[in-house]
């Protein structure tokens, strides 16, 4: 947790999918975390671990067969109990600026970037009148380092990097206190990944907004994050300072350790096995079938959530008695 006032405060957030024949799938279970202005929290984990479902819950974009529970406070508002009108008018764009995965796919091919920006300005900012809307759109583009001479281009005329900047400009229009970047580096080459995360970091370093970045890219998380939340099978199993997590001490949860050791520039040793299906979680720790530290207790007793969700976490040298 941070000692600064959180922009977003998530407590006990759970999401269940109601399936045919009364089956329930626990996609997110009892998530707790804060993100403060000037801070980036990277939510990391493999595909299908529940990261994107958690993001959809914050945006009020869960499918009809999903049930959210718990709290996600953004200022005075609980996102989980807000009605659709509030979510559409106040939350999306104004309180949360979304930078989506694959930004080009979210842009309308037949419209220019200027047109996208001006539409968003009209929807989420107080600017009225043609000149004011145009000026606000150009300001957002400038803040995202989107070049003015590309504003009248169509999405297909943009490189991956420029499409990313266009998406960032759209997310910045409403001056939202929280930016939510969903896998912003997917499909980018390594140089562009570094550039993209450095640009995102710039929008946090002015202290005006918080950034929640959802990613499976640990190198990107290491480059940008102040803290990391590791998600496995729908649970946040470790919340740590990035410096500790990526540093000498390393992750305390065996899954986080496994993720780091699978990186090519580390031990390059993949975690054995596959994550469990969210609809078929074991009784005890969901990581037990893949964990070298598992004991009999791990197979039957679920570890508590909050902090390090593990019966036998790694203990760094300096924490040993």
Q: How many residues bind ligand SF4 (CB under 6 A)?
A: 12
Near ligand SF4 by CB under 6 A: residue from 33, 146, 246, 287: 287
Touching ligand SF4, residues 297-316 (CB under 6 A): 298, 303, 310-312
Q: Cα torsion at 302, 304, 309, 311 (round to 10°)?
A: -60
Near ligand SF4 by CB under 6 A: residue from 182, 293, 314, 319: 293
Nearer to ligand SF4, 165 or 311 (CB): 311
d(CA 239, CA 229): 4
Nearer to ligand SF4, 93 or 276 (CB): 276
Nearer to ligand SF4, 155 or 254 (CB): 254
DSSP codes joined into one string, 123-150: HHSS--SHHHHHHHHHHHHHHTT--GGG
Query: What distance, in Å, lies between the first and last C-alpha atoms of the chain?
Result: 24
Position 294 contacts ligand SF4 (CB under 6 A)? yes
Stretch of 16-24, 97-105, 203-211, 291-299 lying at the interface with ligand SF4 (CB under 6 A): 291-299
Nearer to ligand SF4, 173 or 230 (CB): 230
CB of residue 238 vs ligand SF4: minimum separation in angstroms?
10
Touching ligand SF4, residues 253-282 (CB under 6 A): 254
Nearer to ligand SF4, 107 or 285 (CB): 285
Position 288 contacts ligand SF4 (CB under 6 A)? yes
306: alpha, beta or left, given left = phi > 0 and alpha = psi -120 to 50?
Answer: left
Nearer to ligand SF4, 209 or 257 (CB): 257
Stretch of 1-9, 54-62, 220-228, 292-300 lying at the interface with ligand SF4 (CB under 6 A): 292-300
**Beta strand 227-232 pairing with 210-215:** unpaired
- For 37-131, where are the E strands, in sequence order? 40-44, 66-74, 77-78, 96-99
Strand partners, 74: 8, 77
CB of residue 305 vs ligand SF4: minimum separation in angstroms?
12
> For residues 88 and 62, is the Cβ–Cβ distance under 8 A?
no
- For 216-275, where are the E strands, in sequence order? 227-232, 235-241
Nearer to ligand SF4, 110 or 292 (CB): 292
CB of residue 297 vs ligand SF4: minimum separation in angstroms?
7
Nearer to ligand SF4, 31 or 55 (CB): 31
CB of residue 315 vs ligand SF4: minimum separation in angstroms?
12
**Beta strand 66-74 pairing with 235-241:** unpaired
Position 234 contacts ligand SF4 (CB under 6 A)? no
CB of residue 291 vs ligand SF4: minimum separation in angstroms?
3
| Residue owning tokens 């718990």 | 70
d(CA 115, CA 110): 10
Residue burial 110-138, b: 16+ Cβ < 10 Å; e: rest = eebbbbbbbbbbeebbebeeeeebbebbb
> For residues 180 and 101, is the Cβ–Cβ distance under 8 A?
no
| Residue owning tokens 């959802």 | 214
Stretch of 100-108, 201-209, 215-223, 288-296 lying at the interface with ligand SF4 (CB under 6 A): 288-296
Give residues in contact with ligand SF4 (CB under 6 A).
Answer: 254, 285, 287-288, 291, 293-294, 298, 303, 310-312
């Amino acid at each position: 947790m941070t000692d600064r006032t959180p922009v977003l405060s998530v407590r006990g957030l759970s999401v269940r999918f109601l399936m045919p024949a009364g089956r329930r799938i626990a996609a997110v279970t009892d998530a707790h975390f804060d993100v403060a202005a000037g801070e980036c929290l990277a939510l990391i984990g493999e595909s299908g671990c529940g990261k994107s479902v958690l993001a959809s819950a914050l945006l009020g974009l869960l499918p009809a067969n999903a049930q959210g529970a718990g709290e996600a406070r953004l200022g005075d508002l609980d996102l989980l109990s807000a009605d659709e009108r509030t979510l559409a008018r106040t939350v999306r764009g104004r309180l949360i600026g979304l930078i989506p995965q694959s930004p080009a796919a979210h842009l309308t091919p037949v419209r220019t970037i200027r047109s996208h920006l001006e539409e968003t300005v009209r929807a989420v900012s107080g600017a009225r009148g043609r000149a004011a809307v145009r000026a606000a759109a150009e300001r957002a583009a400038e803040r995202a380092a989107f070049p003015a001479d590309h504003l009248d281009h169509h999405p297909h005329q943009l490189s991956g990097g420029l499409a990313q900047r266009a998406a960032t400009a759209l997310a910045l229009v409403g001056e939202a206190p929280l930016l939510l970047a969903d896998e912003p580096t997917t499909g980018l080459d390594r140089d562009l990944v570094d550039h993209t995360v450095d640009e995102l970091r710039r929008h946090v370093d002015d202290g005006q907004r918080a950034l929640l970045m959802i990613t499976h890219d640990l190198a990107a998380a290491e480059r940008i994050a102040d803290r990391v939340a590791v998600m496995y099978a729908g649970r946040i199993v470790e919340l740590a300072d990035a410096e500790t997590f990526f540093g000498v001490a390393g992750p305390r949860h065996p899954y986080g350790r496994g993720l780091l050791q699978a990186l090519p520039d580390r031990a390059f040793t993949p975690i054995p096995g596959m994550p469990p299906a969210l609809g078929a979680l074991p009784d005890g720790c969901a990581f037990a079938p893949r964990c070298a530290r598992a004991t009999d207790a791990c197979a039957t007793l679920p570890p508590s959530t909050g902090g390090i969700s593990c019966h036998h976490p790694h203990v760094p040298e300096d924490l040993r008695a």
